[in-house]
Amino acid sequence: MKNFLFPIIILAIFSACSNSSETTASEPEGPLPLHSSFSYTEEDLDELIDGVTGIDAPSREAIMTAVKANPETFFDLMEEMLKEDPSLFILVDKQHPLESSYIPPDLVNMDDISLFKKNKSAMQIRRICLPSLIEMNQAAEEEGLELLHSSCYRSYVYQVKTYNYWVEQLGKEEADKVSAYPGKSQHQLGLALDFGSIDDSYAETAEGAWQLENAWKYGWSLSFPEGKEELTGYSYECWHYRYIGKAAARVEKEYFHGLQQNLLTFWKEKEEDIRSHKLSESPVQES
């Protein structure tokens, strides 16, 4: 009887030890990541968001609150932004100019698309914008509206003429509020588009009101919102939209409180960090 029981006892001891080892190995060590595709934990958000020097403290706090309320969607959208053409997120403002030689690589003539109502010929815009711009125009048309496209790509040389004109009309101090110095205009990116009358009256039109409410759904962002001159450096422009892609436009709306300037500042400072926290895809197991 003793000889019969001995192997059973040994097997039971081995099995218990094995199960204990498996349980220990499966227990996570340290804080859990907030998203399956990134290594960020909740503690890391302090450095990710509070570490952005180009955004003021109250805005960072508001962004942090929004991210902590829904980190899963935030990092879903970060993942989508990483897949986009990086040029969509170039920060161009009074402190971050483009080279005078910068010309977008995929400019197309808007005259080639009959859907677009234009106030002048030979306007150019980047091809990457076209699918979303067509989609936005069609959506507006379904509402009985017609978007007027008034100004798109401007070369550095063209912006020299535009800026000098406004200096002559208003003086340099006032001109700097309504016109970008050459190299500091979003229009040079080929991603910015002015709509309608290019003045404050556009906000009072049905098209202007519709765009303010809906443009983000198609990846278009109002660059210079009302009351944010100190942040953007420019007076309110209800007609000036920039294409940043659908994922970024949703991030801007849901986490950055509709402020393109803060979103693009965040991305400029933190894109590399976000990429470094992106987890590698798990290799596909062969059956």
17-56 confidence digits (pLDDT tens): 445 444 444 555 778 899 999 999 999 998 999 999 999 9
Domain boundary assignment for the chain: 34-84+262-277, 92-244
- Find the helix packing angle between 260-276 and 71-83, rounded to 10°: 80
Look at residue 280 in the predicted model and tell me its pLDDT: 83
For residue range 163-188, list pLDDT tens digits in order.
Answer: 999 999 999 999 999 999 999 999 99
User: What's the rounded Cα separation, in Å, for the pair 222 and 261?
Assistant: 10
Q: What are the b/e assignments for 224-234, b being 16+ CB within 10 Å?
A: bbeebeebbbb
pLDDT range class, residue 13, cuts 50, 70, 90: very low
Q: What is the mean pLDDT of residues 121-127?
A: 96
For residue range 202-246, list pLDDT tens digits in order.
Answer: 999 999 999 999 999 999 999 999 999 999 999 999 999 999 999
User: What's the rounded Cα separation, in Å, for the pair 142 and 204?
Assistant: 20
User: What's the rounded Cα separation, in Å, for the pair 210 and 194?
Assistant: 15
The closest alpha carbon to 231, from 97, 93, 126, belongs to: 93
Look at residue 283 in the predicted model and tell me its pLDDT: 46
Taking domain 92-244, whether its CATH number is 3.40.190.10 is answered by no
* H-run or E-run covering 159: helix 156-170
Q: What is the mean pLDDT of residues 73-95?
A: 98
Q: What is the pTM of this model?
A: 0.87
Q: Reduce the DSSP state of residue 275 to 3 states and report it.
A: helix
